[in-house]
Amino acid sequence: MSDLPLDQVKTLLAVVDEQSFDAAAAVLHVTPSAVSQRVKALEQRTGRVLLLRTKPIQLTASGQVLVRFARSLAQLEQDALAELGLGAAGTRTLSIAVNADSLATWFLPALTGIAEDQDVCFDLQREDEDHTATLLREGLVMAAVTASPQPVQGCTSHRLGRMRYRAMASPGFIARHLADAPLTATLPAAPVIVFDRKDDLQDRFLRALTRRRTFTMVRHHIPASESFADAVAAGLGWGMVPELQAGPRGDALVDLAPDRPVDVPLHWQQWKLDSPALAAVAEAVARAAKESLR
Amino acid sequence: MSDLPLDQVKTLLAVVDEQSFDAAAAVLHVTPSAVSQRVKALEQRTGRVLLLRTKPIQLTASGQVLVRFARSLAQLEQDALAELGLGAAGTRTLSIAVNADSLATWFLPALTGIAEDQDVCFDLQREDEDHTATLLREGLVMAAVTASPQPVQGCTSHRLGRMRYRAMASPGFIARHLADAPLTATLPAAPVIVFDRKDDLQDRFLRALTRRRTFTMVRHHIPASESFADAVAAGLGWGMVPELQAGPRGDALVDLAPDRPVDVPLHWQQWKLDSPALAAVAEAVARAAKESLR
């Protein structure tokens, strides 16, 4: 197999991005049947199953390789057109994975400045910082804010800084649940708020505090960053709140253990691509991180 | 088949909730191999494939029926134990699907008041209001804020009110993109912010404004409610912002079409279950909606 039919590769990319054959067809201005035929033809040519026709559609390992290739290709093509002054629609899409707390605090201002300069549009995907690298590996994004410093294959990795979290609760919650005994005794039994099932910050804090392994308290799941901090301030439970979010809430949040902050190191990983737009974003993100992170 | 082995049914529920056999094993205090055997035994007993061992794990239609049954069972069991004063761990889990904008505005205060009274913990899942009913149907949640008034099978449906959105942009964005001609000419070409690929509010507004069907402007995807409003205020694009979020941002947001608000009717759907905890939540949600929605 000496080359890959580019229309078929781009069709695969559209199916993954739009999450259905019908939607991909609409974007590509062809029929859903043509989309299906192109993907099948690409599978026959490569001799591999590329995606599972489940809902949501899932890429196989071979499909991930081709989608990463397709996304790099699209970026290079867009950059070349822009350089030639031919980027008519002007929409170079930069798909970036970012953790919810970064998105809610320091990350967004980095993007707003450069969108118009660089003529790009941002396709942000929100994911736990321990799992953004997976999106990078699977070719679903071309850059990511990750917890891991280990570069994903084909990517570069740069340190952004540490995001500091503090165990916090409302004054009313402390009076109800934490006032009668030391924190090591009361906190493991008090209601806790966690972001989602991937969020282990609260458990990590408790393990370090108590040297115990497992905890069976009431757990609320609040999967939105601002709402999480609001719920802690409203007294629904205690939780690990980013310092950057705690400040604006003033006295509604009390630091339960001022000498025990939890720092989450964050890194910027991106594909090795000679793309001016991606480089501009990387620079703006590094600058914003330097201002807000430790 | 006269009855279902309840330990197997509960194991299936744990696998779905924890999203892996290993995590389900940890929660149930058994080995991963025991979890796998129980699910297989349940599949043999029912003669159906119940879940696809993909990542994320996916339920088949038969699996969905059993998970709904398992969740109802768990709720009834917890209620009975609580009535007998035996709800030791005290954790009746209420899993609820809610759209991001409701979660960011009026929904959370409804929950904080009753968590301690009712001794429940909340497992919130964030999903587009057009798709929350699907989570209800698939048995992944027991109640949901939905756009559709049509009750999912086995559920009741009550109207909550209308959430009002307004097409908004920053003063700087208006000067750069919208000042030279009427909105019908400028807006379809101006950069827009959408929440994610399920969010069609912006397109609906444009279709009503222009009577055209498709649009090819720069689209940014910002999948977090507060960040979405922040990005509009920062001038990244225009977007449909909930009135409830626009107020606090003052002059940073300008209403582009005061005579063209878009109202999204919201409904509360829940399983037909005689559960005091679920009833208390439904009542609190209805009360909060009455205060904040139209």
pLDDT digits (tens, 9 = 90+) for A178-197: 998 999 999 998 999 999 98
A61 part of a folded domain: yes
Last residue in a domain, options B71, B90, B109: B71
CATH of the domain at A28: 1.10.10.10
Provide the pLDDT confidence category of residue A175 given band limits of 50, 70 and 90.
Answer: very high
Q: Is a pLDDT exceeding 80 seen at residue A274?
A: no
Domain count, chain A: 2
Q: Is residue A24 part of a domain?
A: yes
Contact B115 A230 (CB under 8 A): no
Helical (H) or strand (E) element with A204: helix A201-210
Among B71, B101, B125, which residue terminates a domain? B71
pLDDT at residue number B213: 78
Domain that holds residue A19: 1-71
Instruction: Note the pLDDT of residue B1.
Output: 41
* Mean residue pLDDT across chain A: 88
Domain for residue A132, yes or no?
no
Both tokens assigned to A200 = 């282990």
Nearest residue, CB atoms, B58 vs list A54, A227, A235: A54
A103/B54 touch (CB, cutoff 8 Å), yes or no: no
Q: How large is the average pLDDT for residues A64-68?
A: 86
Q: Is B231 exposed, middle or buried (0-12, 13-18, 19+ CB in 10 A)?
A: buried
Residue A95 pLDDT more than 60? yes
Task: State the count of interchain CB pairs (< 8 A) between A and B.
Answer: 118
In a domain, A246, yes or no: yes
Q: What is the pLDDT of residue B239?
A: 97
CATH number at residue A211: 3.40.190.10
Residue B10 inside a domain? The answer is yes
Please give the C-alpha separations between residue B40 and each of B36, B51, B60, in angstroms, as whole numbers: 6, 10, 14
Tell if the CB–CB gap between A191 and B115 is shorter than 8 Å. yes
User: Residue B243: inside a domain, yes or no?
Assistant: yes
The verdict on a CB contact (< 8 Å) between A218 and B100 is no
CA distances from B96 to A221, A232, A294, B285 (A): 10, 19, 36, 11
Q: Count CB neighbours of A141 within 10 A.
A: 25
A287 within domain boundaries:
no
Q: Do B121 and A231 touch (CB under 8 A)?
A: no
Q: Which pLDDT belongs to residue A217?
A: 76
Binned average pLDDT, 10 residues per bin, chain B of 294 residues: 73 90 87 91 85 86 85 73 53 86 93 77 91 89 93 93 97 94 92 91 93 80 94 95 92 96 96 84 95 94
Last residue of a domain, one of B71, B93, B128: B71
**What digits encode the pLDDT tens for the residues A221-257?**
999 999 999 999 999 999 999 999 998 898 999 999 9
B72: three-class secondary structure by DSSP: helix
The shortest C-alpha distance from A276 to chain B (Å) reads 18
User: Which residues on A lie below 8 Å from B58 (Cβ)?
Assistant: 54-55
Chain B residues in contact with A231 by the CB 8 A cut-off are 108, 111-112
**Beta bridge pairs of residue B122:** B94
Is the dihedral angle over the CA atoms A231, A232, A234, A237 positive or is it negative?
positive
Nearest to A123 among B100, B111, B221 (CB): B221
- More confident: A173 or B94: A173
- Decide if A33 is inside a domain: yes
| Interchain proximity B112–A235, CB inside 8 Å | yes
